[in-house]
Amino acid sequence: MVYWTRRDLYKFIVIAVVPVALYSLLDFKWLHLPWLPIALIGTAVAFIVGFKNNASYGRLWEARQIWGGIVNTSRAFGIMVNDFINNEHAKIRISEKELRAIRQKIIYRHIAWMTAHRYTLRVTKPWETFFKVLTNKEYAELYDVQEMRIPFEEAIKPYLDEQELKHIADKKNKAAQILALQSKNLRELKEKGLIWEFSFLEMENTLKELYTLQGKNERIKNFPYPRQFATLNHFFVWIFILLLPFGIMNEFDKIGAELLGQLGGMEYGTMKYCYEFIAKHFVWSSIPFSIIISWVFYTMERIGEVSENPFEGTANDVPITTMSRDIEIDLREMLGEPRDIIPAPIQMKYDIQT
């Protein structure tokens, strides 16, 4: 956290030191503000920051729940593909090898849907500004977001045949088109009797659920946290940070004066000299307190800011790449594929999932 906000800490140090230096060294005793109105501003800012963080966390938690639904629905779909596609009602029976090929194609197409969907969610929107901030860029170097490193065409190529790749190439919503291909393929299998009619309806309902979950993610992605709240909150926090040293240093100076007044009855010596020095310069003690308070308010506001968009690719986002890989592993294991051809789980870096 300190590494992430260290550049802002430098600003807080300057903001805290300059007023105290003018007040103490140049004897600008008029350079202070009453503490009460600043405290009122701080209280208002705390409420606004809390409201924003609560709303941002709500968006993040909803996104996590949606992806939890994708995990469960994907596993259920995998079971259906393995158990519902068979020769029991087939008009023309086919070999077990051909059945396995059909199941594999459908499972791989589902993995392609997850790939297309997560790449869509990673596309940067105009209001997503995380990677425009220098400290955020530096922090992002600690972890790897595959969607920003591997081209979409390369990522999806192993899961679709050439005809299907051409079909979705010029489509705007590629994930939706892949589900449409899935439905078309299931209907063809139903017409051949390789899927029983009631099983077909159940599988179509599963595709409908996947469409619903995709739409919920797209709603979060395409509708930002209201800008009037986000922008004003940022301004209010900085107004409070800039005013804070002018109010807090006078309060510390009063404490120093009280300490100085209590030294009258003390015998002169090294101890009294030390206490007297501390009391006369106690106003400088306001600097660390001012820095800490500024850091707390700013960091709270910044946490809410980076939680607004749960698919942006930050360290605290929903780890959709990791979750997609875990689903892929489960589905391919259901197909009975050898372990050596199934991709390994995505490893965390610095305890960060992507």
**What gap in Å lies between CA 54 and CA 304, rounded to an integer?**
8
**What gap in Å lies between CA 194 and CA 87, rounded to an integer?**
6
pLDDT means per 10 residues, the chain with 354 residues, are: 74 89 82 86 89 88 94 95 89 90 94 94 83 70 80 92 91 93 94 91 94 94 80 86 89 75 60 65 83 90 83 84 93 91 84 75
- Angular region, 336: left φ>0, alpha ψ -120 to 50, beta rest: left
The domain locations on the chain are 1-31+226-307, 63-225+319-354
Please report the pLDDT score of residue 322 as a whole number: 92
**What gap in Å lies between CA 91 and CA 261, rounded to an integer?**
103
Residue 20 CB neighbours (<10 A): 23
Residue 323 CB neighbours (<10 A): 20
Please report the pLDDT score of residue 124 as a whole number: 85
